[in-house]
Chain A
Amino acid sequence: MSTVLVILEAKSGSPSRISLEALAAGAALATATGAQLAAAMVGPAAAMDSLGSLSAAIAIEHPLLDRYTADGYTAACAQLIARLQPDYVLFPHTYQVRDFAPRLATRLGRVLLSDVTAFSLDGNTVTFTRQLFQGKLNGHYHAAAPAPCLVSIQAGAFHAAPSAPTSIPVESFAPALEPSAIRTQPGEPFRAATQTVDLSSAPLIVSVGRGIKDEANIALVQELAQALGAELAASRPICDAGWLPMERQVGSSGQTVAPKLYLAVGISGAIQHLVGMKGSQCVVAINKDENAPIFEIADYGIVGDLFEVVPALTTAIRKAKG
């Protein structure tokens, strides 16, 4: 029987959410192709106790894998694949996978199908869909090379199954690794110092404009930013007035930002402001004027008084975060 192997990624000791999504994709693919589902992860066996129904659960364990290196992971996974001979190897499409999976595929003489959002079965051929041109086009691919076929799954493309105890005992797999084969020396991960404002790399930004009316009301959006874990930014009038420091100004004469989420509160959307935040992946606007230009480029808009909407939103976010 053929095998779909999903290689999971651990985050603080247990499989990350996106790994579980990849596992769900693997399960769907296994069902569709009549294969069995196996999962593997670098880390202790104990971390793999709630992965549901599997044909094999493998904890890859080796001291040289304690800290991620592309050389270590490539060698370990290559050995595991050689042992299991899977038809498909699925990964979550994370930064780490992007770093080593192409190397692994090359070592196996294959090409990774990266960032896949869906697949479909067409006779015997599995067609995989991935996005081109930053999501403006979908491409449908199939593998022409013999197994294994390596695929990484985009975050959010599949829904993780509810957790259930792993159906079989977790095996341990110890790859043969030589210290000399690991050429990179990774340092301890760290977060950027929080004192310095660096809006340009902030993933989440709450930005406030003249609609806030008064310096005292800034606290309102500050709370929202805190609840969201976002950086606080502003339009120029706010910084002109000195209510927030200059380095928090977004726009043509301030910072250019490109966060995942840009939440604009009481900002009209003047061109000089738009220029600084147009690269945001998702724009949410809260404004009492339904004709405010900011809504034109927003993905989500709430027309309403910010003094009502913002506190409600802060509360809702706090609730959602538990």
Chain B
Amino acid sequence: MAVVASSILSASPAALLAALAPSLTLAEPATFALWQRLLLLALILGSGWLFWQRFGRVVRRILAARKDADFQLFPLGRRIWDFFWEVLCQAKVIRERPLPGLAHAFVFWSFLAFALVTTNHIATGFGLGFLDPAGLFGRFYFLLAGVFALLCAVSIAGLFVRRFFVRPIWLAHKDNTISAESGIIAGLIFLLMATYLAAYWVPSGSTAALVLWWLHTLTLLSFLPLVPHTKHLHLILSPLTVFLSRGSFSRIPPLADDDDFGLVTGRDITQLTALQVYSCVECGRCTEHCPAANTGKELNPREIILGLRGYLNEYGPASEQPLLGRYNSQQAAFQCTTCGSCEFQCPVGIEHLPVIVGLRRGAVNTGEWDDDHGGKLFLALERNGNALGMAHSEREKFLAREELPAFDGSQEYCLWLGCMGGYDPKGREIIRSFVQVMRFLGTSYGVLRREKCTGDPARRLGNDLVFQQLAESNLENLAQNKVKKIISICPHCVRTIAEDWKAYGTPPEIEHHSEFLARHQARMPAAAPAASAGTTVFHDPCYLGRYRNVYDEPRSIAAASGTLVEAERSRERSFCCGAGGGLAFLGEEQGARVSETRVGQLIETGASTIAAACPFCNTMFRDALASRGDAAPQLLDIAQIAAASLPPAPASNPAGSLPNPA
């Protein structure tokens, strides 16, 4: 750049003009003296050695970590697609942060375009250049790379301005500083592009071309060793991370053997986790979307990942040092609602939930976690088989009062009440409404007498023992009763039964009532116009949306209560209600209550109805809405919305009698 500028300044106006109009051929140095070749070789070796000094250590740490017991490379189709979509297309990066995402994509794509250019560049130094700048292909390719170089230079400058001048908080470190290293790296990238582009302005074979060539080379060779020292390691690792990821969302891996209690010490970190931990680009997307981090809690998902990296750097994967200590705190690990926003957002395929749940497993399975509410919850699950610690007889009373038939194998569905549906007065109202709909449709259903908690809170809090006991006992009960299909009003039950129970058997098919209701919508009467006069905002439950990919079905039901409006955070980006991950049972939150924050976001839409599709969201919102006074919107489950459109049950055939043929 400097060379170009000085040559411009010293030239005559005509020459200046000529210099400003670039030639269409990239200038290359004519020849390289032997000493230059030797120097080049030495520099490459030096740079490569420096690179490996650091990168080799990372690789060895990753390889020394424990193998992932459940890792399966096949089927490859999904992996290839993820690689294509997330890495090559940069889809996630762009979708979640369009402008900076696109800027990043341009940098990435130029790197791809430069693969060939750079190889040729170095080869030229040894007289082995294979792209002729004057040839047809060479001319085309160098120009193409030039376009990318331009986009890349603009993008990296933009990203620099954003990071250092706009300073979004989630890019900052824990202590609110921004490290200079990304500035240096950005500068180097900019320089790489500039020294490339500048070669269009100088004559081929000139000294200027030689100087530019060397500048480009030196930039490149200083860039290389910096990569593994900084978050730019993701450049090398993240394509691999995306390709090798566990694949299913929020997957909790099975415990490997009798000595595996979750993430207790460095020895429990697996290769995949280590790879992911070193791939983090510190972009803060996870933190930006984390309900805990957004409500003043200690938990910050990026710092969880970086904490593990810090641990690996200091102690390595063979260490017996506890993981919860210097680098990660127990308190933070237990503030996670397992909403999955972080994992969903992460552009490099880092899976936070196996880590966070893994840390909890380590603390709970060894008895390290000592929390009054948590202990009570586990004992309630152990002793009462439900998370609320209620007497089983209370459920029986409810079944009797509502005349809910016992499942006897003849009915189509086993109606799964769950803890909330079985014991919570409000959850029971949802069941009541849903049963009305099923009766109207003439769908046959029955309820298990000895249904127990699915174990969801135990699972997410890392209590494998209680979870296993509950899963096994329920699976046995379902098998004994020959249940084929389950229907549930609770996305947590659905997820746990459908996915988590697989570790202990084959669960029956299960669906969420939103799916059932949407499927049968055509057979339901239309809502009275008065009922749908206002506006309705639907809150996507994490366990229905991100965990199950169900977004439109509940909306189609909710629409009966009013014109749908969307909250700023909705669908995949929905903000948690605060209940998940067992947190509904864990007592007071640090900072603001997640439920109140979310209710604020929903109220902002001006909707007159909040539609929910999860009894936990329901209980959280009900509580948060109560403090908002009488002007607060009404809160309804989609089952209640669906039931509202039904004709009133005839007096002689009260709710609770035999199914009403539709």
What residue in chain B is nearest A293 (Cβ atoms)?
A: B425
**Docked complex: A188-242 residues within 8 A CB-CB of B:** 210, 236-237, 240
- Bound together, the chains give a CA A84 to CA B623 distance in angstroms of 66
Task: Assess whether B420 is interfacial by the CB under 8 Å rule.
Answer: yes
Contacts of B426 in A (CB 8 A): 270-271, 293
The verdict on A271 contacting B423 (CB below 8 Å), with A252-B373, A252-B587 known, is yes
The verdict on A256 contacting B376 (CB below 8 Å), with A271-B420, A278-B390 known, is yes
- Bound together, the chains give a CA A240 to CA B626 distance in angstroms of 12
Q: Give chain A nearest CB distance to B368 CB in angstroms.
A: 22
Asked whether, in the complex, the Cβ of A253 is within 8 Å of the Cβ of B373, the reply is: yes
- Bound together, the chains give a CA A278 to CA B394 distance in angstroms of 11
The verdict on A270 contacting B623 (CB below 8 Å), with A253-B587, A253-B588, A296-B425 known, is yes
What residue in chain A is nearest B424 (Cβ atoms)?
A: A271
Partner of A240, one of B391, B587, B622, B627: B627
Partner of B390, one of A240, A270, A275: A275
Q: Give chain B nearest CB distance to A101 CB in angstroms.
A: 30
Contacts of A210 in B (CB 8 A): 626
Contacts of A253 in B (CB 8 A): 373, 586-588
Task: Assess whether B108 is interfacial by the CB under 8 Å rule.
Answer: no
Q: Residue-by-residue, is B485-518 near A (CB-CB < 8 Å gives 1, otherwise 0)?
A: 0000000000000000000000000000000000
- Bound together, the chains give a CA A74 to CA B389 distance in angstroms of 40
Asked whether, in the complex, the Cβ of B626 is within 8 Å of the Cβ of A271, the reply is: no
What residue in chain A is nearest B376 (Cβ atoms)?
A: A256
Contacts of A236 in B (CB 8 A): 623
- Bound together, the chains give a CA A149 to CA B439 distance in angstroms of 60
Asked whether, in the complex, the Cβ of B623 is within 8 Å of the Cβ of A272, the reply is: yes
Asked whether, in the complex, the Cβ of A269 is within 8 Å of the Cβ of B425, the reply is: yes
What residue in chain A is nearest B401 (Cβ atoms)?
A: A296
Asked whether, in the complex, the Cβ of A271 is within 8 Å of the Cβ of B425, the reply is: yes
What residue in chain A is nearest B622 (Cβ atoms)?
A: A270
Listed residue (A236, A256, A274) with the most chain B CB atoms within 10 angstroms of its CB: A274
Contacts of A296 in B (CB 8 A): 425
Interface size on B, residues (CB 8 A): 23
- Bound together, the chains give a CA A254 to CA B588 distance in angstroms of 8
Asked whether, in the complex, the Cβ of B373 is within 8 Å of the Cβ of A271, the reply is: no
Task: Assess whether B427 is interfacial by the CB under 8 Å rule.
Answer: yes
- Bound together, the chains give a CA A299 to CA B265 distance in angstroms of 52
Q: Give chain A nearest CB distance to B164 CB in angstroms.
A: 42
Asked whether, in the complex, the Cβ of B389 is within 8 Å of the Cβ of A275, the reply is: yes
Task: Assess whether B388 is interfacial by the CB under 8 Å rule.
Answer: yes
Q: Give chain A nearest CB distance to B400 CB in angstroms.
A: 13
Q: Residue-by-residue, is B558-573 near A (CB-CB < 8 Å gives 1, otherwise 0)?
A: 0000000000000000
Listed residue (A237, A253, A271, A293) with the most chain B CB atoms within 10 angstroms of its CB: A271
- Bound together, the chains give a CA A34 to CA B584 distance in angstroms of 63
**Docked complex: A249-284 residues within 8 A CB-CB of B:** 252-254, 256, 269-272, 274-275, 278
- Bound together, the chains give a CA A272 to CA B626 distance in angstroms of 14
**Docked complex: B356-403 residues within 8 A CB-CB of A:** 373, 376, 388-391, 394
Interface size on A, residues (CB 8 A): 18
Contacts of B585 in A (CB 8 A): 252
Task: Assess whether B279 is interfacial by the CB under 8 Å rule.
Answer: no
Q: Give chain A nearest CB distance to B157 CB in angstroms.
A: 49
**Docked complex: B601-639 residues within 8 A CB-CB of A:** 619, 622-623, 626-627
The verdict on A278 contacting B373 (CB below 8 Å), with A252-B585, A253-B587 known, is no
Asked whether, in the complex, the Cβ of A272 is within 8 Å of the Cβ of B373, the reply is: no
Asked whether, in the complex, the Cβ of B388 is within 8 Å of the Cβ of A271, the reply is: yes
Q: Residue-by-residue, is B401-429 near A (CB-CB < 8 Å gives 1, otherwise 0)?
A: 00000000000000000001001111100
- Bound together, the chains give a CA A272 to CA B588 distance in angstroms of 12
- Bound together, the chains give a CA A274 to CA B373 distance in angstroms of 15
- Bound together, the chains give a CA A274 to CA B627 distance in angstroms of 19
What residue in chain A is nearest B398 (Cβ atoms)?
A: A296
Q: Give chain B nearest CB distance to A128 CB in angstroms.
A: 27
Asked whether, in the complex, the Cβ of A271 is within 8 Å of the Cβ of B587, the reply is: no
The verdict on A270 contacting B425 (CB below 8 Å), with A237-B626, A240-B627, A252-B587 known, is yes
Contacts of B626 in A (CB 8 A): 210, 237
- Bound together, the chains give a CA A40 to CA B388 distance in angstroms of 48
Contacts of B619 in A (CB 8 A): 270-272
Listed residue (A252, A256, A270, A272) with the most chain B CB atoms within 10 angstroms of its CB: A252
What residue in chain A is nearest B623 (Cβ atoms)?
A: A270
- Bound together, the chains give a CA A274 to CA B380 distance in angstroms of 14
Contacts of A293 in B (CB 8 A): 425-426
- Bound together, the chains give a CA A293 to CA B428 distance in angstroms of 11
- Bound together, the chains give a CA A293 to CA B426 distance in angstroms of 9
- Bound together, the chains give a CA A237 to CA B625 distance in angstroms of 12
Contacts of B423 in A (CB 8 A): 271
Q: Residue-by-residue, is B323-364 near A (CB-CB < 8 Å gives 1, otherwise 0)?
A: 000000000000000000000000000000000000000000
What residue in chain A is nearest B394 (Cβ atoms)?
A: A297
Q: Give chain B nearest CB distance to A144 CB in angstroms.
A: 34
Contacts of B391 in A (CB 8 A): 278
- Bound together, the chains give a CA A100 to CA B586 distance in angstroms of 42
Contacts of B586 in A (CB 8 A): 253
Asked whether, in the complex, the Cβ of A275 is within 8 Å of the Cβ of B425, the reply is: no
What residue in chain A is nearest B397 (Cβ atoms)?
A: A296
Asked whether, in the complex, the Cβ of B389 is within 8 Å of the Cβ of A278, the reply is: yes
What residue in chain B is nearest A297 (Cβ atoms)?
A: B394
- Bound together, the chains give a CA A297 to CA B423 distance in angstroms of 11
Asked whether, in the complex, the Cβ of A237 is within 8 Å of the Cβ of B627, the reply is: yes
Contacts of A270 in B (CB 8 A): 425-426, 619, 622-623
What residue in chain B is nearest A254 (Cβ atoms)?
A: B587
Partner of A275, one of B388, B588, B622: B388
Contacts of A278 in B (CB 8 A): 389-391
**Docked complex: B422-443 residues within 8 A CB-CB of A:** 423-427
- Bound together, the chains give a CA A36 to CA B537 distance in angstroms of 79
Q: Can you give 10 contacting A-B residue pairs, CB < 8 Å?
A: A237-B626, A240-B627, A253-B373, A256-B376, A270-B623, A271-B388, A271-B424, A271-B426, A271-B427, A278-B389
* B interface list, Cβ under 8 A from A: 373, 376, 388-391, 394, 420, 423-427, 584-588, 619, 622-623, 626-627
3 tightest A-B contacts by CB? A293-B425, A271-B424, A253-B587
19 more A-B contacts (CB under 8 A) besides A252-B388, A293-B426?
Answer: A210-B626, A237-B626, A240-B627, A252-B584, A252-B585, A252-B587, A253-B373, A253-B587, A253-B588, A256-B376, A270-B426, A270-B619, A271-B420, A271-B424, A271-B426, A271-B427, A278-B389, A296-B425, A297-B394
